[in-house]
Each structure stands twice: as structure tokens, then as C-alpha cells.
Amino acid sequence: MRFSIEQLEMFSAVARQGSFSAAARAISKSQSTVSAAVANLEVDLGVELFDRQAKLPVLTPAGVQLLRQAELVLDRCSNLEMHAHQLLDIPQSELLLAIEIPYPVLAQPLQALSTQFPYLDVTIRHPMDGDVAVLVQKGEVDLGITFSQPAYARGIAFRQMGKLILTHVAHKDHPLAYYASISFAELRAHRRLTFSAYGHRLPSTEYLTAGNSWQAESYSALLEMTRAGLGWTTLPRQSILREIESGELVELPLEAYPHTDWVVGVDLLWSQQAQLGQASTWLKHYLQEFKVFELDRNGNKTIL
């Protein structure tokens, strides 16, 4: 029994992506390479992992059980690599970050980074497509900070840093601004302005539908569209405090959530395969201990 880590990675990729062709695209291999690797793994293990009778491969009962074991092995290998990387002391002249949450929340860590590494060049990206995890996975950034997603791709490690509030708002002259309580049906009757990257990936967004919607690829674009009275939207409260306090934007009181705010987790992401330099490693450790929070409508912190 002489199977390889690469065979296990390809087995996992096919199971996750749902086909050999999709797995090949995801891991930048040819379809024939992926198919051969999985076939050889089946020979090495002595069992069929996929039923290939249908149009798309389906895990066999044995495949379902062995996938769990294979992914445990892959996780242990990633932990081994990550531990080895942490033992290295790699000089670093530039640090690349992808930050989706409001920047003021991270002022303290960034100030600490500046003090610790005064000559370090830092580039901060706010991905227009909103997918911080993809940038981390592709190695285009060292660390990512994003609103929590239900799942991340294999090879992405994460640590929750805390929680922030997303709030539903409209311009003060928008019809919804005059409601004392708003049902989902009333909300759906008006145009929704959405962050195109998310769709329904955040918790509870399945309720936030509308008969008509306009999409934008940045929070700043959503803010300007909302200011223009084009519809209602959902934004991080920390990014629009001035507009709320001035009365320009009005928070919409949803009938279904009269006593709670929409609190969403904030995750720190990094690649388990990447070799982080001195500054990236320092900042990762700092952010793992840093707490992200704000006060809800009752004056309570969003984390304990």
C-alpha cells in the first residue's frame, strides 16, 4: 500500500468539486492526471472510491468513509508543514493583506505593526469580488480578514476574531424610512442593493430577498447608491456610523428581529501551505489574540 499525499489531495478535490474536470481546474492539473491518480489510489487501497456509472462520479459507501480518513491525513500533513514554516525566520520587506471589514476596527493592530516593523511595505487589498479566501488560497495575499463564511476551501486555516453588526438601511427620504416596523413582504416590495460577492452566503440572507435588485462590487458603491435613494441595502454598521448619526441613513426595524442586531463573525484567514515571513507571522499571532467587537443596540458587546 504505497499511495501518496498527492493522490489523497486529488481524491479529496474530486469529492469536493463533484467531477474530475472541476477538480483538475481547481488544483491546476490535467483531467487525465487527476483521473489516473484516483484510479491508482483505488488500486493501492483495493476499493472503489467512486461510482462512475452516472454522468458525474459519486462516492461509494467505502469512498465516503475513506474520504474522512484521507482528509484527516491531509490535515495532519498541513499542520506539519505549518509547524515547520513557523520555525523558519524568513526576512520580509512587504506584507500583503486582504481586508473586507471596516478599516477603523483594525486601527490598533495596524498601528502595532507599524511600530514593530517601521520599514515594512504594506499593501491592503479590498477585493472587488469580496472573496478574501480566494486571494489567500492563491497566495496573492499573506493574510485575510473577512466576514465569516459557512466553509472555506481545503488548505485555508482560520480563527474567529470576533463579531460585528451588519445593518439594513435606507436613505431618510426612502419610503421604508417611515415604517415603525417592516415585514419581509414589505422589504421585498422595494429594490434591494446587494454586495454581489455574497448573494446568500451570509447567515440569514435567505430572508433578504426582493422583487428587484441591483448589485455592486464594493461597500462604497452600495453606500452611494443608497444615498441616492435607489433602494435599501445592508452594510457594516461601523462603516456608516456618521451617516446614521447625522440622520442621512435610517436603520430599518425588521419585524422579525425586534430585539436583536444582525451579528456576523469576523475571521482571520491564512494558507496552511504558505511560508509566512517575520512580519506576517507576527501579525497573525497578534490578530489571533485581538478581539473585534462593537456595542449592540442594548449597549452590550457583540462578543463576551
Same domain, residue pair 36 and 154: no
Which residues does 156 contact at the CB level (< 8 Å), separation at least 6?
Answer: 133, 136, 137, 269, 270, 271, 272
Q: What is the pLDDT of residues 66-113, one digit of tens each?
A: 888 888 888 787 767 666 655 555 668 899 999 989 889 999 999 999
Helix (H, G, I), strand (E, B) or coil at 112: helix
Q: How many domains does the chain have?
A: 2
Same domain, residue pair 128 and 70: no
Q: What is the pLDDT of residues 238-280, one digit of tens each?
A: 999 999 999 999 999 988 877 778 888 999 999 988 888 889 9
Same domain, residue pair 28 and 126: no
Which of 68, 86, 104 delimits the end of a domain? 86
Output the average pLDDT for the chain.
Answer: 86
Count CA atoms within 13 Å of residue 183 on its CB side: 3
In this predicted structure, what is the pLDDT of residue 114? 94
Same domain, residue pair 152 and 200: yes
Question: Which helix (H) or strand (E) covers residue 160, if one does?
Answer: strand 156-171
Same domain, residue pair 82 and 180: no
Q: What is the pLDDT of residues 186-205, one digit of tens each?
A: 888 999 998 876 655 555 55
Same domain, residue pair 70 and 210: no
Q: What is the CATH number of the domain that holds 245?
A: 3.40.190.290
Cα distances (Å, whole numbers) of residue 30 to 33, 74, 202: 5, 21, 33
In this predicted structure, what is the pLDDT of residue 124? 93
Which of 42, 61, 86 delimits the end of a domain? 86
Same domain, residue pair 162 and 123: yes
Same domain, residue pair 304 and 168: yes
The conformational region for residue 46 under phi > 0 = left, psi -120 to 50 = alpha, else beta, is left
Same domain, residue pair 182 and 41: no
| Residue 151 belongs to domain spanning | 92-304
Same domain, residue pair 14 and 128: no
Backbone φ and ψ of 32, nearest 5°:
-65, -35
pLDDT band of 233, cuts 50, 70, 90:
very high
**296-303: average pLDDT:** 84
In this predicted structure, what is the pLDDT of residue 296? 83
Same domain, residue pair 69 and 212: no
Q: Work out the end-to-end distance of the chain between its first and last CA atoms, rounded to an integer number of angstroms.
A: 49
C-beta separation of 126 from 197 below 8 A: no
Which residues does 226 contact at the CB level (< 8 Å), separation at least 6?
Answer: 169, 170, 171, 193, 232, 233, 235, 249
Between CA 101 and CA 147 the distance in angstroms is 7
Same domain, residue pair 168 and 45: no
Q: What is the CATH number of the domain that holds 57?
A: 1.10.10.10
| Of 101, 241, 230, 236, residue with least CA distance to 170 | 230
- Model's pTM, two decimal places? 0.70
Which of 54, 86, 118 delimits the end of a domain? 86
| Of 272, 273, 265, 271, residue with least CA distance to 291 | 265
Counting DSSP H helices and E strands in the chain, the numbers are 10, 11
